[in-house]
Structure 1
Amino acid sequence: MTHHAGGVPSIAVKRGGAEDIMQETELKLELSQSGARSLLKKNPFGSPPTILQQRSIYFDTTGWDLSKRGLSLRIRQSGNERVQTLKAGDGAAAGSFTREEWERPVAGDTPILDDPRIRDLLAGDGPKLTPLFEVHVKRHRWNVIEGDATVEVALDTGKVVAADREAPLCEIELEKKAGSSRALFALARKVDLITPTHLGVLSKAERGYRLLGSAPGAVKSAATPLTSDMSAATAFARIAAACLKQFRLNETALGWSRDADALHQARVSLRRLRSLCSICKSLFDDSRFDHLREELKWLASELGEARNIDVMIGRASSEALSSRLQDARDDAYAAVEASLSSVRARSLMIDATEWISIGDWRTQSDEKLHEQSSRNLALGVFDKFWKKVAKGGSDLIDADDETRHKVRIAAKKLRYAAEFFEPLYNGNAEAKRHRRFIKAMKGLQDHLGSLNDIATAPDMLATLELSDVAGAKDLFSAEDKSKLLKDAAEAHDAFVNTRRFWR
């Protein structure tokens, strides 16, 4: 079975003192405090909840050495009982991964680290551990029968406390105890009918570390841990989960402020996921694939106008145009907020998570394609899109806008693929070639992107009824385009002459 975390259900292997091993599949949802009250009032879970008060203390070094290695260590008090838990994952904040957990009862609020495997994991950091933050929650817990499955539902309301800061916490964890994982998603949809819920992608530990750091803003993509012996299907699921997590973190940031970078990165994460589906489409033979790809396209397009206006504001040369664009920006961001809070957008995140983790493509497609190595999959993708960019961009200066747009899309897919599969090329020579290749790709993409901005500006200005405003024509001048075409042609030559890191 492929293991997932982040936005995708996580599977954890729990090891207690008696070496009992258990697999645990979870789905996390975020909701508002008023939503939690509505849920408790309607209680769709068929029985009264068990109520617990919990306090968890999280430990690390002052330099966050455990967190950097993908570890979290906590002591959770519930009533008179205290349980210490060490979780070990891949160290990937944005990926799907198998994680192991070691649990043991403890008497107080000081970690007990006498297990030799735990000492090995801590790598000598045990004596330097200090309490960093606490999580206080009131937990309402139900055991629910959903179809053929048994699911533990835990509604946690409370706060994360770090030094002089605190942040509210309100989330639901759905944990499969027996039966089909589809029950988690069926329950998630039932909850969303009662109160709006969003896919949760942060662990409680991650919330604490974020509270200790600077205010979270735009979140860029990060490398997803992959290995050369990993199957293509597993690699796809990990990268897809990372894209979903990046989107949700930027969507959350947009809920706090109309930050242009957060909007851009939210859109990038959706484009990356669509590109991933496109370059890996040989893996899929199921009816949900095309529908989900269209829904991702819809959501990305809902962010498109706001992003285009942000780009034009950055290039506006007159006060009059800048002022009018700012007014248009307010309207565009209001539309973005409405789209992101819609049932359609919330459902898409749940549907995509279900499809990635347990979709029919896992059983209905060609098993040989799924089980091929991730590196073999990457090799075919790189060759295909390198040829498209090399051939399609051979005459950028005389090509029409539509041809250049196609080259830009192919270049984007190649660049994303190179970033997705970067961890598979981590030898010194390969890594150097990879860096040079990405640099050449970035140069080409920047010029093609600027040319696309010039090509789309007239229609965008006309839509906003700003074509006649002073400075509008500066956004698509022939002089700028002529220089960009020469620069793009030179960048294409540099790209073609840059050694391919995968060959």
Structure 2
Amino acid sequence: MKQKLCLHGLEVKNQAQLLNLAKRLLPGSTVKVKIKEKYFNDNDMYKYRLTRFTPENIDGVRLYCAWGTLLVSDKLLAIADIIIEFECHNAEAAKAVDGLLQKLLASKTKFVLEEPDFSQRLDQLRGCFDQKQLAAYDADSAMSLLYCHLPWQVYYVSKLWQEVLSRGPERSLMRQLRVKLRRLRSLLTLCKPLLPEEEAVHWQGVLKARTNLLGDVREYDVALQICARLQRSREQAEVVLPQLTALLTQLRGTAAAKALRGLRLNRLTLELAQLLLWLYSAPAPEKEPALAEFLSRRFGNWYDKLLELPEKYPDLHNMEQLHRIRIKLKRFRYALQSVPELAPEARLLRSLKYLQDMLGLLHDDYINTLMVERLVAANPKIKELRYEAALFSGWEQAKADAALEALPQQWEAFSSQLTEWKNKNL
């Protein structure tokens, strides 16, 4: 079975830049060139020059340089791609691809991962991407999750890393990146029975470490949002919490700098490309189930574990227990939203998100209280800080108390909707 990895070049000045990279990597290759173009509805189209390199001494591997343009929704986008095609279950070919990736991503040209099928890339940009249209999709094979569902999440993460590193640690970008990393981890957890366990645990750890790097920034962003809401509620020009806002802003900047320190785009792209290479090369289980059977079994197990959570974590005043429930709900929602075959109803997703947000509010209130207490203790010379901390802590307390009171009823509503969905779909 053949698979493709696509590296999309950024700020590539001309086609020769890509061709020279390929020639240095694969000297003596047979080279063929063709022009490809295709037109779609709404005047969308692509047209590019495709140069194929077939190396003499590497079986099962071909490299392509694609240079041209995509036109989607009246927006012109560059095609400046290096695509590696390989026999995914050929160990020597996979090893050769890993070597090519390392050499390409050691160059000065910056790359992100992209969808190698240009028709599917257009669909992604138009918001109508359908995994079932991919050549590798097979309803009779659960391995379709590795070939079709997971790569889509990897592409998002790769492009968000590029935006964060080029534009800086903007709050919205950091949040999107953290969410996409968690969504990728959740889907990888769903697919874990299809994968070699030791390697799966390794990659879960890699993604968790990347997510945790962004955790401190998120906590300061939440606290600063509360300061901003309190400011808007007072309808006055002067800053309501000047000392606290200044301290939080400073700490947020330090945390963001620490999170991004030493990161290089091509290293991150290589990490994600090696994840895809591993997924594509993973051997199928001896008794591989059909996709629907696998999803039914996995989400059925997940359903059972979710309904056991109130018994496993019964103390609603224990913030650590509530946080664990929230993480498990979030992981379930991310995985469910990544599998369109199960068609989760909007009502269930709204209930799940609402419950998750309630738990998030309680967790944030707890973390923020501890945070401002530490700030007050660390800055005794700032006299106004104690007053500002009290005002800050009291602002969200009423919402947190209301959320805690409504939590049992909301859990019952969610459990009922979850059972209804399970009976229809699993």
TM-score range, shorter chain: 0.7 to 0.9
Matched to 2:158, the amino acid is R
CA–CA separation in structure 2 for the residues paired with 1:306 and 1:373: 40
CA–CA separation in structure 1 for the residues paired with 2:288 and 2:30: 46
CA displacement at 1:383 relative to structure 2? 2.8
Question: Superposition pairs for residues 424-463 of structure 1, below 5 Å?
Answer: 424-425=342-343, 434-458=345-369
CA–CA separation in structure 2 for the residues paired with 1:237 and 1:177: 13
Aligned match of 1:484 in 390, 403, 416? 403
Question: Superposition pairs for residues 183-332 of structure 1, below 5 Å?
Answer: 183-195=96-108, 196-201=110-115, 203-205=117-119, 225=132, 230-235=140-145, 237-255=147-165, 257-258=167-168, 259-316=170-227, 317=230, 318=240, 320=242, 321-332=244-255
Aligned match of 1:43 in 3, 24, 37? 24
| Pair 231,342 (structure 1): closer, same or farther in 2 beyond 3 Å | same
What value does the CA root-mean-square deviation take over the aligned residues?
Answer: 4.1
* Number of residue pairs aligned between Structure 1 and Structure 2: 391
| Pair 325,452 (structure 1): closer, same or farther in 2 beyond 3 Å | same
Matched with 1:60 is 40
**Greater strand content:** 1
SS for the counterpart of 1:194 is: coil
SS for the counterpart of 1:367 is: coil
* 1:382-424 per-position Cα deviation (integer Å, ceiling 9, x unaligned): 333322334345542x3x1111111112222332343344523
SS for the counterpart of 1:345 is: helix
In the superposition, the TM-score normalised over structure 1's length comes to 0.64
The answer to whether structure 1 residue 346 and structure 2 residue 269 are counterparts is yes
**Greater helix content:** 2
Matched with 2:294 is 374
Matched to 1:502, the amino acid is K
Alpha carbons 1:52, 1:140 under 8 Å: kept = yes
Find runs of 4+ consecutive structure 1 residues off by over 6 angstroms.
206-211, 462-467
SS for the counterpart of 2:157 is: helix
SS for the counterpart of 1:46 is: coil
CA displacement at 1:245 relative to structure 2? 2.6
In the superposition, the TM-score normalised over structure 2's length comes to 0.74
| Pair 203,438 (structure 1): closer, same or farther in 2 beyond 3 Å | same
Matched with 1:30 is 8
* 1:198-218 per-position Cα deviation (integer Å, ceiling 9, x unaligned): 32236545666788x7xxxxx
Alpha carbons 1:251, 1:263 under 8 Å: kept = no
CA–CA separation in structure 1 for the residues paired with 2:38 and 2:171: 33
Aligned match of 1:387 in 288, 299, 307? 307
SS for the counterpart of 1:25 is: strand
Matched to 2:304, the amino acid is K
Alpha carbons 1:155, 1:172 under 8 Å: kept = yes
* 1:14-54 per-position Cα deviation (integer Å, ceiling 9, x unaligned): xxxxxxxxxx5321112344698498278121237858585
CA displacement at 1:377 relative to structure 2? 2.2
Matched with 2:382 is none
| Pair 246,381 (structure 1): closer, same or farther in 2 beyond 3 Å | farther
* 1:325-363 per-position Cα deviation (integer Å, ceiling 9, x unaligned): 44444454445555652565333202210222112xx34
Structure 2 portions without partners, runs of 5+: 231-239, 380-384
Matched to 2:5, the amino acid is L
CA–CA separation in structure 2 for the residues paired with 1:309 and 1:401: 19
SS for the counterpart of 2:143 is: helix
SS for the counterpart of 1:47 is: coil
CA–CA separation in structure 1 for the residues paired with 2:4 and 2:313: 46
CA–CA separation in structure 2 for the residues paired with 1:495 and 1:402: 21
Alpha carbons 1:279, 1:381 under 8 Å: kept = no
Alpha carbons 2:333, 2:352 under 8 Å: kept = yes
CA displacement at 1:450 relative to structure 2? 1.2
Question: Superposition pairs for residues 393-404 of structure 1, below 5 Å?
Answer: 394-396=314-316, 398=317, 400-404=318-322
| Pair 40,330 (structure 1): closer, same or farther in 2 beyond 3 Å | farther
Matched to 2:179, the amino acid is V
CA–CA separation in structure 2 for the residues paired with 1:354 and 1:393: 39
Identity %: 19
